[in-house]
Structure 1
Amino acid sequence: MRKHIFILSLACVATLCANAKVRLHHLISDNMVVQSNSDVRLWGWAAPGKKVRVTTSWSNQTYNCQSGKDGAWEVRVHTPKAGYTPLTIKFSDGEETTISNVLSGEVWVCAGQSNMEMPVHGFDGCPVEGYNKVVVDARSHSGVRYAKIPATMSMKPQQDANVKWQVVSPETVGNTSATGYFFGRMLEQTLGVPVGLIEANKGGSRVESWLDYDNLKKSTDEKLDSTSIYSVKTDYYRQLVWGNGTFSPIQKYTVKGIIYYQGCSNVGYHTDDYARRLGILVEQWRKAFGCGEIPFYFVEIAPYWYNNANGTDAALLREQQYIASTKIKNCGLIGNNDGAYKWEMKQIHPSQKRKVGERLAFYALSETYGIKGLIYKNPSLDNITVNGSDVCVKLRNTDHGIYPLYGIEGFEIAGTDGKFHPAAARYDWHDGIILSSPNVHKPVEVRYCFKNFQLGTARNQGGLPLLPFRAKIK
């Protein structure tokens, strides 16, 4: 009896091997969006030494490769121009596998922590403004597709993830990243092409959560043995493991760029080194994707009280974000000082995600796609001069004006005693913003919204808020 069972088992194994098909990475699947007009990577696994043939519906060319000893194979396929005509791709190692309803368009990665992860439907007790309007409008944007990578920890870089592409519809739009969707929707309606969003994020994660082993060992003091990592009780703070489990699986995919919303969990944790570490992460990701110096657009953390609305821990992190934006090539920082309502002081997930996503899109449309006429850069400090007890603040990127003209809120000045006082502020077309305070006769320092939670009112002609800053008067 046992002999018959053994023979039957061997027969079953032989049948399975004979019928085995090429296994594709989960992102290489129905409904995917491939980066248009590019040599994109397609990859997967087969029996070791197997010849794999790839053919596409848009070309007569056949692509051939052979799987290695580990069964892995990879080809580069040239994609057509962007369009809404459904495409197919066939893979064969003797038995054929076909993926369908593929579109050629623009592919972006949506990375970061919970404010990027936050879906259109919102979190419990944390709604996204305008949800119902997004749902009823969703059918008009089926050219936007998304793939959400499950948030997973791993000590070793993972090659694949259990994920599938979703076509945006009233039934599916609620589950996609709100910031990512508003970004993708704006790209689609402006460029008139499909947009693919790959969501690889984890709520609460730090920049150290995404850095790889080599960069953490070389450039930080983080402990990298598994005992130390898993002893961090708050799992989403853990270094290394989120990148290995959640980001590594996507790094062969051919993408156009990355949008990033993270930083809250680094408030008070290596804050003074955040700009450098973020720069290392961007370099790491660009190298892994192998698509050149792809654009990296990121979001200033929103106002939040961090247990003390008047504290400056979050302001110091925002300052580091600004420094990073001046050092990282082909990047842009999206101002978000107006990203929370007054009543959201203790809400780490503010509801105004549309403006965040669309500002990211304006930056990409202008810098990456060359669309002219958009106002997309936030005003920022240029220089400061003093005229008696008045302080004159000049700004960059005003686009010919700052408003409101009078009663601008958020500025403070300090004298030689180092104590800051609210400053009366008015806009002068020639001199910039003029500040004064009856409590400061000899100003030596200026700051704008340099607190954990402080909402300013200064905006440029495009309605974009002034980036928070602090500066000593020379």
Structure 2
Amino acid sequence: MNKMNLRLSGVFLFFLLISVFAQAEIKLPAIFGDHMVLQQQTDAAIWGKATAGKAVRVSTSWDNKSYSAQADPQGNWKVKVKTPKAGGPYEITISDGSALKLKDVLIGEVWVCSGQSNMAMTMKGYRNQPITGSNEIIATSANPNIRMINIKLDKSLEPKDDFIGEWKECLPENVVNYSATAYFFGKMIQQVLNVPVGLINSSWGGTRIEPWISENGIKKFNWVSLPDKKKEGEFSPQVPTVLFNAMINPMVGYGLRGAIWYQGESNRNEPDQYRKLMPGLAENWRAEWGIGDFPFYYVQIAPFDYGVGGLSSAYLREAQLKAASEGTNMGMACIMETGEKTCIHPANKKAAGDRLAYLALAKTYGKSGFAYSGPILKEMTVDGSIVKLTFDHANNGLTSYGKELENFEVAGENKRFVSAKAFITGQGITLYSPAVEKPVAVRYAFKDFVVGDLFNIEGLPASSFRTDEWEK
């Protein structure tokens, strides 16, 4: 009996020691790991879990400095480390007596990439839905200065402190399963700046914008109902706040340069609300991060035949166009010529990624000598039956690449739009219709599906637009 008690005591002591040592281990959220990229020249936050009350020391190899923090009663600790100019690879050692080492850490530019299925769409495409040129692009994609992390799909009624994901090197076997839009964006940024780039992809196909906004942010929109946090059982990823809670909140505070966004198809029937939600999302993320008005660039949804029922997606595109000028430090990439009538996921993701990169390079990084926006309507004047349009972002003129302009319409006071004859001139566009003697309004490509045919000389398309504000 005594031997049995001794054995039981020994087993108990063994498991007690294992428990103590397990609790003493440094634990880091998934956003921190080997191969990660930290934002350059900033106070980058690093946080995690340790034994309550224990001292934690963080040492960085780029300057051989150490930073200390004490774990709170819940075991949480956080430090901010000063990052140098872009470079690496480096190591970060985190210790509470037992060391954890992060290897192959780069310092550079970090961007969050989010949205619904067109951002989520990987370089290998979807079933029977390709990415143009993907095979060659994937085969030649190896780049030691690009790093990527995919955040696993998850939803939560309460904010989470971690998600599932792993930083990976930019190799063909990883690029094939990574967001095509994000990859093309990161590739151009890295090539032009010649610094490491870190891409964080947190996207979920088919989702609306409201789930990506936190509770503090969504309260500003009185038409949106907050979820019942006590709800039991399964719930939809369309519920407001639940994707922010699970897929954004765990990385809030991670050092970054900005965010790119590709979403809107699931909100197409509420353009007026979306016009407010779009800048609201950017403001919300900035407030949660607390690092100022970082840039927020997004892709305007492409034309697509949504079929009968519902509002024309032209109104959602209009809302996105207007939001770009109404929000702070925002910009919109237009892809009017890449839409496909029967596929909501355009194969030409390079256009989306490259045009987001043009915005970032020009507006965030101060690069010049190239265009970052397609033509945007400046002014309309009417002389009898003739309408003249001028445009911003068309200093070198306009082009249709030799094709007839087919997407302009004009209306008189009866509000009936008819097709218009349109010509490119030295000043902009001149248009008319024999059926409209006294034109009062013009629309361009203002339909569900259309192939944009108006560009500036640099090859960037004009968004669909209208000069009227008549009822939808």
Say whether residues 1:18 and 2:29 are aligned partners.
no
Quickly say closer, same or farther: Cα 1:182–1:243, change in 2 above 3 A. Answer: same
Q: Indicate the residue corresponding to 1:224 in structure 2.
A: 226
Q: CA deviation at 1:417?
A: 2.4
Q: Indicate the residue corresponding to 2:80 in structure 1.
A: 76
Which deviations, in whole Å up to 9, do the C-alpha atoms of 1:79-112 show, x marking residues without a partner? 12112x3100000000000010111110000011
Q: Structure 1 CA distance, aligned partners of 2:92 and 2:194?
A: 23
Asked whether the 8 Å contact 1:210–1:242 carries over to 2, the reply is yes
SS in 2 for 1:97: strand
Quickly say closer, same or farther: Cα 1:423–1:6, change in 2 above 3 A. Answer: farther
Q: Structure 2 CA distance, aligned partners of 1:70 and 1:231?
A: 28
Alignment of 1:47-126 (within 5 A): 47-83=51-87, 85-126=88-129
Q: CA deviation at 1:227?
A: 8.1
Q: Indicate the residue corresponding to 2:257 in structure 1.
A: 256
Specify which of 99, 121, 144 is matched with residue 142 of structure 1: 144
Quickly say closer, same or farther: Cα 1:422–1:229, change in 2 above 3 A. Answer: farther
Q: Structure 2 CA distance, aligned partners of 1:172 and 1:254?
A: 23
Quickly say closer, same or farther: Cα 1:125–1:229, change in 2 above 3 A. Answer: farther
Quickly say closer, same or farther: Cα 1:386–1:455, change in 2 above 3 A. Answer: same
Specify which of 462, 465, 468 is matched with residue 466 of structure 1: 462
Q: Structure 1 CA distance, aligned partners of 2:174 and 2:381?
A: 53
SS in 1 for 2:172: coil
Specify which of 436, 439, 443 is matched with residue 435 of structure 2: 439
Say whether residues 1:415 and 2:412 are aligned partners.
yes
SS in 2 for 1:143: strand
Q: Indicate the residue corresponding to 1:277 in structure 2.
A: 277
Q: Indicate the residue corresponding to 1:295 in structure 2.
A: 295
SS in 1 for 2:360: helix
Q: Structure 1 CA distance, aligned partners of 2:308 and 2:447?
A: 9
Quickly say closer, same or farther: Cα 1:228–1:60, change in 2 above 3 A. Answer: closer
SS in 1 for 2:141: helix
Quickly say closer, same or farther: Cα 1:272–1:232, change in 2 above 3 A. Answer: farther
Q: Structure 2 CA distance, aligned partners of 1:286 and 1:150?
A: 23
Q: CA deviation at 1:242?
A: 1.2
- Name the aligned partner's letter for residue 420 of structure 1: F
- Name the aligned partner's letter for residue 345 of structure 1: K
Asked whether the 8 Å contact 1:399–1:462 carries over to 2, the reply is no
Q: Which moved more, 1:277-286 or 1:19-28?
A: 19-28
Q: Structure 2 CA distance, aligned partners of 1:56 and 1:232?
A: 43
Asked whether the 8 Å contact 1:376–1:462 carries over to 2, the reply is no
Q: Structure 1 CA distance, aligned partners of 2:306 and 2:313?
A: 8
Say whether residues 1:454 and 2:450 are aligned partners.
yes
Quickly say closer, same or farther: Cα 1:42–1:123, change in 2 above 3 A. Answer: same
Q: CA deviation at 1:428?
A: 1.1
SS in 2 for 1:133: helix
Q: Structure 1 CA distance, aligned partners of 2:434 and 2:328?
A: 43
Q: CA deviation at 1:308?
A: 3.9
Q: Indicate the residue corresponding to 1:358 in structure 2.
A: 354
Q: Structure 1 CA distance, aligned partners of 2:66 and 2:144?
A: 30
SS in 1 for 2:140: helix
Q: CA deviation at 1:11?
A: 2.3
Q: Indicate the residue corresponding to 1:153 in structure 2.
A: 155
Alignment of 1:316-395 (within 5 A): 316-340=315-339, 344-395=340-391
Which deviations, in whole Å up to 9, do the C-alpha atoms of 1:131-151 show, x marking residues without a partner? 111112112x23111111111
Which deviations, in whole Å up to 9, do the C-alpha atoms of 1:159-216 show, x marking residues without a partner? 1112110101111111111000000000111111110001111111111111222332
Q: Structure 2 CA distance, aligned partners of 1:238 and 1:187?
A: 34
- Name the aligned partner's letter for residue 113 of structure 2: C
Unaligned runs of 5+ in 2: none
- Name the aligned partner's letter for residue 158 of structure 1: K
Number of equivalenced pairs: 465
- Name the aligned partner's letter for residue 334 of structure 1: A
Alignment of 1:171-186 (within 5 A): 171-186=173-188
- Name the aligned partner's letter for residue 287 of structure 1: A
Q: CA deviation at 1:414?
A: 1.2
Say whether residues 1:203 and 2:205 are aligned partners.
yes
Q: CA deviation at 1:313?
A: 2.5
Asked whether the 8 Å contact 2:227–2:239 carries over to 1, the reply is no
SS in 2 for 1:386: strand
- Name the aligned partner's letter for residue 44 of structure 1: G
Q: CA deviation at 1:21?
A: 2.0
Asked whether the 8 Å contact 1:30–1:165 carries over to 2, the reply is yes
Asked whether the 8 Å contact 1:205–1:238 carries over to 2, the reply is no
- Name the aligned partner's letter for residue 69 of structure 1: P
- Name the aligned partner's letter for residue 454 of structure 1: V
Q: CA deviation at 1:6?
A: 5.7
Q: Structure 2 CA distance, aligned partners of 1:358 and 1:339?
A: 13
Q: Structure 1 CA distance, aligned partners of 2:231 and 2:184?
A: 35
Which deviations, in whole Å up to 9, do the C-alpha atoms of 1:34-89 show, x marking residues without a partner? 11111100110001111000101111221000011111110000112112x31000
Q: Indicate the residue corresponding to 1:307 in structure 2.
A: 307
Quickly say closer, same or farther: Cα 1:274–1:3, change in 2 above 3 A. Answer: farther
Alignment of 1:4-43 (within 5 A): 4-5=7-8, 7-18=10-21, 20-43=24-47
SS in 2 for 1:260: strand
